[in-house]
Amino acid sequence: MAFETVIGLEVHAQLSTRSKIFCACSTAFGAAPNENTCPVCTGMPGVLPVLNRKAVECTIRTALATSCTVQRRSVFARKNYFYPDLPKAYQISQYELPIALGGHIDIEVDGGTKRIGITRIHMEEDAGKLVHEGEFAGAQASLADLNRCSVPLMEIVSEPDMRTPEEGGAYLRRLHDVLVYLGVCDGNMEEGSFRCDANVSVRPVGQEAFGTRAELKNMNSFRNVEKALEYEIRRQVELIEDGGKVVQETRLWDANAGVTVSMRRKEEAHDYRYFPDPDLLPLIVDDSWVEELRKTIPELPAEKIARLGRQYGIPRYDAGILASTPALADFFEASAAIYGGNPKTTANECVHWKDAVLAGTLSPETIAHAVEDRERGTISATASKKLVELVLSTGKPFRMLRDEQGLTQVSDTSALDILVDKILAASPKEVEGYRGGKVGLLSFFVGQVMKESRGKANPKVVQEVLKKKLG
């Protein structure tokens, strides 16, 4: 029997705000335990949450970038459950009325484009974490670090539109790039800023109804997500083929063992007793606010790749590399604006010097001048590279260094005529040999002229002059 896989993804992205979603505490990563806490995020008696406007703006911008409809009225609800890392014993989240509904993201698969639906985007606060002394089960003590409590998160829930682990991976990467482009999330998966849960089920090809799904958690890299999906699909198919039944449950991905393991069954699921949080008024987003934020949406990765290809005539692959980081693409465009020439050369240079570009130690002028001088034959490729390195080490302008170092090529034929004549006069045997048919000697003459010019002669022009004179 042939099976089809159905995958839906839920992404938790930490919003790039300086303060938490309901209090003024810092969201900085790596602080000492409980350093970034206050009576509000630790749920002390009587304190109240106050919504962070910046977090709302980040979420609205994400909604706009993924073609979602921003809801005029959304409501924060309490999700009630006991756990020592959840100081209020409820998480403030959006439930029935989230801030955004119904969008999509286009991914590229098998040379084509596929549209993945986005069901909803909602806002919520993160919980803290527990540190267990010694082994988990026999721990002598469990310590609570509440730094992450009330760190703002946005949950982006996809439609079950993906059919392969590759599609899942492509969707995640594209979503990741969009969030980073928007500046609403730093996208750091190791630090947990970008986390993914997957709902996976399989069904016989042709069957309309979804199979029973498992929820996968604990995947902390794109590769892990794909591997976990692959494993889980195989597990479910084999289970069914062996006459078994998939049960609805939550499974953890064990990256070391490369397997998913059961964490909790449906019947153990919590009753969260959701209800609207009476401490927060419904969030009202008026149209003018949305329109204001719409103006801040930058060109997004897919559009940028397409435009770079169209506008500069560079290959899609190069455009993709440039667009992987908005700053790199901007740098490329700034360079190309200073010197048009062949944009492919400029693109290559930008990619070659990517680290320096992103570190901000190179200016677009440097690359533009390097490309221009090479294309005009004023310097050699070797000299170009050497000069850019010098720019980086000295901070002096490219052309000042070029002149100081005397690396300008001599392309002036009249000047080269004299040099060539000199070399030919000094090498009568070789001239005779060349004229006798040893055309390979041409490179010997070029080498001699280059040496005589101390590397400044333009080898291409030298060759032409030589050919003419040797007839």
- CB 342 to other proteins: min, Å: 58
Contact region with other proteins (CB under 8 A), list: 46-54, 98-106, 224-232, 422-430? 46-54
- CB 37 to other proteins: min, Å: 10
Nearer to other proteins, 48 or 327 (CB): 48
d(CA 34, CA 14): 19
Contacts of residue 49, Cβ cutoff 8 Å, sequence gap at least 6: 21, 22, 23, 40, 92, 150, 277, 279, 280
Of 264, 273, 376, 467, the one binding other proteins by CB under 8 A: 273
Of 18, 28, 35, 50, the one binding other proteins by CB under 8 A: 50
d(CA 335, CA 373): 13
Query: Does 271 help bind other proteins (rule: CB under 8 A)?
Result: yes
- CB 369 to other proteins: min, Å: 54
Query: Does 136 help bind other proteins (rule: CB under 8 A)?
Result: no
Element (H, E) at 358: helix 354-359
Of 112, 206, 278, 437, the one binding other proteins by CB under 8 A: 278
d(CA 72, CA 100): 9
Contacts of residue 46, Cβ cutoff 8 Å, sequence gap at least 6: none
- Distances in Å between the Cα of 448 and the Cα atoms of 77, 408, 417, 427 are 82, 18, 14, 10
Query: Does 80 help bind other proteins (rule: CB under 8 A)?
Result: yes
Contacts of residue 45, Cβ cutoff 8 Å, sequence gap at least 6: none
Query: Does 117 help bind other proteins (rule: CB under 8 A)?
Result: no
Of 15, 90, 211, 420, the one binding other proteins by CB under 8 A: 90
**In the structure encoding, which two tokens stand for residue 232, read together?**
């889980």
- CB 301 to other proteins: min, Å: 36
Nearer to other proteins, 273 or 316 (CB): 273
Query: Does 95 help bind other proteins (rule: CB under 8 A)?
Result: no
Torsion of CA 158, 162, 165, 166, to 10 degrees: -100
Size of the site for other proteins (CB under 8 A): 29
**In the structure encoding, which two tokens stand for residue 137, read together?**
């089960």
Torsion of CA 354, 16, 57, 357, to 10 degrees: -10
- CB 21 to other proteins: min, Å: 12
Nearer to other proteins, 80 or 224 (CB): 80
Query: Does 44 help bind other proteins (rule: CB under 8 A)?
Result: yes
Of 51, 239, 306, 442, the one binding other proteins by CB under 8 A: 51
Among residue numbers 296 through 355, which ones bind other proteins (CB under 8 A)? Answer: none
- CB 39 to other proteins: min, Å: 5
Nearer to other proteins, 273 or 451 (CB): 273
Query: Does 259 help bind other proteins (rule: CB under 8 A)?
Result: no
**324 CA to centre of own chain:** 6
**Residue 74 DSSP class:** E
Burial of 55 (0-12, 13-18, 19+ CB in 10 A): buried
Of 78, 195, 251, 369, the one binding other proteins by CB under 8 A: 78
Of 72, 73, 89, 447, the one binding other proteins by CB under 8 A: 89
- CB 146 to other proteins: min, Å: 8
**In the structure encoding, which two tokens stand for residue 411, read together?**
């392309």
Of 30, 32, 45, 112, the one binding other proteins by CB under 8 A: 45
Q: Tell me the sheet residues that pair with 115.
A: 106
Contacts of residue 48, Cβ cutoff 8 Å, sequence gap at least 6: 40, 279
Contact region with other proteins (CB under 8 A), list: 49-57, 240-248, 351-359, 442-450? 49-57
Give φ, ψ of 189 to 5 degrees.
-75, -30
**312 CA to centre of own chain:** 22
Query: Does 231 help bind other proteins (rule: CB under 8 A)?
Result: no
Query: Does 42 help bind other proteins (rule: CB under 8 A)?
Result: yes
Nearer to other proteins, 47 or 297 (CB): 47
Nearer to other proteins, 87 or 168 (CB): 87
Judged by DSSP in three states, 360 sits in coil
Query: Does 280 help bind other proteins (rule: CB under 8 A)?
Result: yes
Query: Does 169 help bind other proteins (rule: CB under 8 A)?
Result: no
Nearer to other proteins, 49 or 160 (CB): 49
Q: What does 102-170 look like in DSSP terms, one character per residue? A: EEEEEEEETTEEEEEEEEEEEEEE---EEEESSSSTT-S-EEEE-TTTT-EEEEEEE-S-B-SHHHHHH
Query: Does 88 help bind other proteins (rule: CB under 8 A)?
Result: yes
Contact region with other proteins (CB under 8 A), list: 79-87, 200-208, 345-353, 381-389? 79-87
**Residue numbers at the binding site for other proteins (CB under 8 A):** 39, 42-51, 78, 80, 82, 84, 87-90, 142, 144, 271, 273-275, 278-281
